[in-house]
Amino acid sequence: MAINKAVSIDTAFQAMMKGLQARSRSWETEQAGSEEKVDYECSECKDRGVVIYRIHKDTELRLRKEHKPLDSLSLDEMVLEDDYLAGKVCTPDKAREWKTTYSKQCECVKQKKIAKLMAASGITEKFEQLLFGNFKLDGKPQMIKDAYECAVEYFKDFEKIKGERANSIALLGQPGSGKTHLLTAIMNNLIKKKSTHCLYFPYVEGMSDLKNDFDQLETKLNAMRKADVLFIDDLFKPVDGKPRATEWQVEQIQSVVNYRYLNHKPLLISSELTTDDLLDVDEALGSRIYQMCKYYTVIIQGNRMELNHRLGDWD
């Protein structure tokens, strides 16, 4: 009786699989003959965001013996659910051997998230190309190499330090020395490798934008306060040798930095000013930046012909 029941179940399962495969072939035929074929953004998951695989019973048994999870399998040890249903994997009588399914988030989901984060970051396509790998070090002074090593070390340490008070980095001093390149490389890596919400704020253009769009001032300042990582580029950039630091400008930057200081939210700071210069602009603000960046600060000073990439023959 038990044998007849098992045979009956197997027969029913095979019949079901034949039906599914027939419908799958019919659908493929219709799609092939249709003038309006479905155009998926992602051919891998067909815009479902999830890829479903089937795993053979012998593979599953091996994993159990080795005490390994399903996600330890490589793609060549699984078959696509769509191929399975289309009859490309096995005949209906062998279908039960592939009954175990495994779902995996499609890579396109991560890529779409990265694209959104990049679009929201405020950096240009040109800046998106600034990476550690294309920062030129050959023939550069040790001070530039120190800045590079500090930036790389900061990125490597980020997950460990991001919730601490001293969780930020400042590259200060000589214009044209690669400060923006290195900090943008950190930002690009945080977005692409850690899916971190970063915001780029170029000080000169950014402050003008805040002043010219006063109705949106608080909204934009809040965005700067709340971003997971904020990059302020060229903070208080000097004009005629004096920092661009009006009372209003200092007040806005202070409100952002103070919020991030109290809530342990990382800052990336580039400036032509030194730590002492920042303290002279506003000691309360400068001391907060110092405390947040004290383990990752490089001040680049010396011969401008050697330190300023734009003045040397490096290309």
283: number of Cβ within 10 Å: 11
Residue 143: both structure tokens together: 């001070």
AA identity, residue 196: T
Torsion of CA 153, 137, 274, 221, to 10 degrees: -60
Q: Are 44 and 80 in contact (CB under 8 A)?
A: no
- Which tokens hold the place of 182? 């290195």
Among 193, 226, 191, CA closest to 115: 191
What is the rounded end-to-end Cα distance, in angstroms, of the chain? Answer: 84
Q: What is the pLDDT of residue 35?
A: 43
Question: Looking at residue 105, what is its pLDDT?
Answer: 86
- Which tens digit of pLDDT belongs to each residue from 239-288? 998 999 999 999 999 999 999 999 999 999 999 999 999 999 999 999 99
Count Cβ atoms below 10 Å from residue 144 Cβ, excluding itself.
Answer: 24
Q: Which pLDDT score, from 0 to 100, does residue 113 have?
A: 87
Specify the pLDDT at position 197: 96
Lowest model confidence (mean pLDDT) among 48-57, 174-183, 196-205, 303-312? 303-312
Q: pLDDT per residue over 107-158, tens digit each?
A: 888 888 888 988 889 998 999 999 999 999 998 999 999 999 999 999 999 9
pLDDT value of residue 14: 60
**More confident: 113 or 2:** 113
Residues in the chain: 315
- Give the pLDDT mean for 280-309: 94
CB of 176 closer than 8 Å to CB of 311: yes
> DSSP secondary structure string, the chain?
-HHHHHHHHHHHHHHHHHHHHHHHHHHHHHHHH-SS----S-TTTTTSSEEEEEE-HHHHHHHHHHT--GGGS-GGGSEEHHHHHTTSS--GGGGGGG-EEEEEE-HHHHHHHHHHHHHHH---HHHHT--GGG---TT--HHHHHHHHHHHHHHHHHHHHTTSSS--EEEEE-TTSSHHHHHHHHHHHHHHHH---EEEEEHHHHHHHHHHTGGGHHHHHHHHHHSSEEEEESTT--BTTB----HHHHHHHHHHHHHHHHTT--EEEEESS-HHHHHHH-HHHHHHHHHHHTTSEEEE-S-HHHH-GGGS---
Report the pLDDT averaged over residues 191-205.
Answer: 96
Average pLDDT, whole number, for the chain?
A: 88
User: Given this model, what pLDDT does residue 185 score?
Assistant: 98
Residues 15-65 pLDDT 10s: 655 665 565 555 455 555 544 567 888 888 888 888 889 999 898 899 899
pLDDT in tens, 76-85: 888 888 888 8
pLDDT at 62: 92
